[in-house]
Structure 1
Amino acid sequence: MYIKKILWAVALIGLVICGGFAYYIYNAMFSPNTNFNNNEAYIYVPTNATYAEVRSQLEPLLDDIDAFDALAKQKKYVEKIKSGKFAISKGMNNNDIINTIRIGNGLEVNVSFNNQHNLADLAGRISAQIEADSLSLLTAMTDEAFLTKNGFNNATVLGMYLPNSYKFYWNVSAETFRDRMLIEYKRFWTEARKAKAKKLNLTPNEVITLASIVHEESKQADEQPRVAGVYLNRLRIGMPLQADPTLKFAAYQLPQYQDIIIRRVLNIHKDIDSPYNTYRNLGLPPGLIAMPDLSAIKAVLNPESHSYLYFAADAKRLGYHKFAKTLGQHNNNAREYHRYLSSQGINK
């Protein structure tokens, strides 16, 4: 009888222990374990991250990090870390959290860019939105084998990156980002657009180079086709483009113009020895002077048909220009704008 009591007691203790263990496991797996007020919180797990790195991001978001640790070890998550951006929903339990952060590449992010003046600026802009750093992006963008294979060089490759918003996984590599941008570039250049460029006697690279000048001249989408028409008229008759933005670009490559903002183009700028000086050189410059908006590219492909050869900024309608067919008319317009600049104390 005494032995039976002992056996019953042992059995009851075993059941209590098992029950307690089962309760602990249930809590570790299925009890809510979040500690933030928003509907979602995000973690960014770098490529080749350790569990300690993931844990440091999760700890402020969870009520009980120790319970999460125990289940992460039990489910072997600590040995198989996945990189990416992941969303933790308010009220999630540890089991759901682990299942969320160990599958695939996580969430996609919107990567957007425009108005970047060079590849270094673009790389910096992109690196703020994905895992890849600016140096790895710039290295991929300027890879000589890639450029040669796809018909670009250092002067023209900025035109491959068409300003827009694109979806990527946060942990996308620099090379994968670059290759996707090439796909988007090729998708933009439909047969119809190629035909329009050919009709203008321009290559796609040349269209975007001219668009960069048009965009720097006018940010007004409704005026850009007229500006494009002026430059195409000049190209057609063998007249220098005489584009002031190209003089600024040429100047900014020189040491004496670093950290200086040129607000007024002067005759001294027209003497700069540079292939980007379109006062001294016929035709288009070697490449882009900045990243054009899509509106400027489309303006070059769909220019306004007219007889204008000149334009000057409009002092009475800032942001727009006055157009002229003769040099005399243009000089009158230019003098009016120069008087405005002088009245504002803008002398350089």
Structure 2
Amino acid sequence: MARVVLHIGTYKTGTTYLQTLCHLNRAQLAQAGVIYPPCGDGYAQHGLAALWLDVPDAVASAQQAGGAQALWQTLTDRYARAPGTLFLSSELFSHWGRSRIDLADLASRLSAFEDICLVYSLRQQADLAQSIWLQAAKFKSPRPIHRFVRKAFERRQIEDVRLDHASVHETLLGHFSHSQIKLVDYHQASRSPGGIGQTFLDLLDAGLDVSQLTPPPPESVNTSPAPLTYWVATQITRGQQQPSEKLIRLVHQALGLEQGQPTSLLARYEYQKFQSRFGPGNAALVARVQNTQPGFSFAEGSVPKGMMFRDDVTQAHWAEIAALLYNERAQEVSFLERLRKRWRLG
């Protein structure tokens, strides 16, 4: 039976890790009956989205493979009537910017396959918003946090990512059936045995254990930095440059954080507002999918124990940061003076 599984994201739900894992283990997946095809340059199938999106990643990937139309035709001709499972993954299929995926056209193209499964990964909205801010800060520039959060509530999306999972599901139902849509809770998947990788191997019926596969190298995984320490560090650099590892360590020390202590760049009331704003929609979504995904759950949960929020940073913390920076600078100056004196004596 020709089966296609299209993983559509969303962003910041372990997509880079999963795509790199599949890219590095194409041969083993193929032996297990799962085809993860190369589609242009890179480790994901971003080029397929270039048929509708003008996003640079999609366009560049498609151009290297002869264009998005050619990519789609090749996949259909080669795999639509072949045995096994074709696995495709690109968070660009959940992109919600000026250009958007034509879901009617997408459904038509996938209809060549006998069995269709769209996989959408959900992440708690407060954590998702925070992670997107960190991503933008790393690769673009830090956004003023108050304006960023206000826009998230007003538009119910951040950048090109929709925060309202219930609305995303409703949009997909306009072109795909309930049984064709599979929801994955990012938090539950990442904390389950084998994590995100094992969750998707099981979903694909690969019969593989993630421990059997070559893991992605750490530098290839798009991991977000520690939220609160990174935000504080960007306030010191004024967004003119990326905070150094040394500065981040000093901030971590000044905040008195313990190893592994959770932090949030959101204020406590903002975190709670995310829960109250999106909680009802999340609950309605869970109820809606129970017939096709019995036992599925997606709850905001309680605030992690010991979480430090942005509004927990006090004047005393800022004073400690200033003192540590002053001492660090004094030590550097002292070292340079000793070095100059040694050269003069020599």
Q: Give TM-score scaled by structure 1 length.
A: 0.25
Larger Rg: 1
> Relative CO higher for 1 or 2, CA cutoff 8 Å, sep ≥ 6?
2
